[in-house]
Amino acid sequence: MPPTARHAALYERFYTDADASAPYGGPITRAQAWSRLAQDIGHWQLRGFGVWIIETKDARAAVGTCGFWQGLDWPRELTWWLTPDARGTGYATEASRAAISHAYAGFGWSEVQTYMDDSNEAARKLVLRLGGEMVERIAFPDGKMRDLFSIPKPGKN
């Protein structure tokens, strides 16, 4: 499910945690975490796609987000984040595979791409597990150079 206002505590828990949120510009304040939630909710209206909430299989806990984001003048990307207690559980892999399948079959996209800061080794490993291949190194609107990865349709890797 896409995020709603009831996920404010999840966003606050993640974005105010310095270690967890560092690759996403954190830590940030509680008010800024609320703004990130509002951005994710609004992204669905602006672009017709966005992130979904990742819940445990028993639906008792929300543990992160996964889906797609595209900032102004940025490439569309597969993105995800997890609360620290949910890392190493396979949630990011499972959610990413579901999002990728939906991008190709549900949205009808011809390509799924992602990127990350060079220092985000965990994200790079996940993308490689998903069959991602680096297609080019490009300059982004924030002035940083990053590798851009293409992730194939399920069953093609």
Is the distance from CB of 28 to CB of 16 less than 8 angstroms? yes
CA proximity to 53, closest of 88, 22, 18, 14: 14
Quick one: pLDDT at residue 156? 64
CA proximity to 87, closest of 122, 58, 42: 122
Angle among Cα 125, 83, 139 to the nearest 5 degrees reads: 45
Domain contains 147: yes
Domain contains 142: yes
Domain contains 139: yes
Sign of CA dihedral 30, 89, 102, 100: positive
Alpha carbon distance 106, 145 (integer Å) = 31
CA proximity to 13, closest of 25, 31, 30: 30
* CATH code of the domain in which 127 resides: 3.40.630.30
Domain contains 88: yes
56-77, pLDDT tens digit by residue? Answer: 988 789 999 999 999 999 999 9
Count of structural domains within the chain: 1
Q: pLDDT averaged over consecutive 10-residue blocks of the chain (157 residues)?
A: 97 96 94 98 98 90 97 97 94 97 98 96 96 98 97 82
Structure tokens at 77: 């990307």
Note the maximum CA span of the chain. 42
Instruction: Determine the structural domain holding residue 35 and report its residue range.
Output: 5-151
Quick one: pLDDT at residue 157? 53
Domain contains 23: yes
Domain contains 156: no
Phi-psi region for residue 39, left (φ > 0), alpha (ψ -120 to 50) or beta?
alpha
Domain contains 157: no
Quick one: pLDDT at residue 155? 80
Domain contains 110: yes
Structure tokens at 3: 């995020």
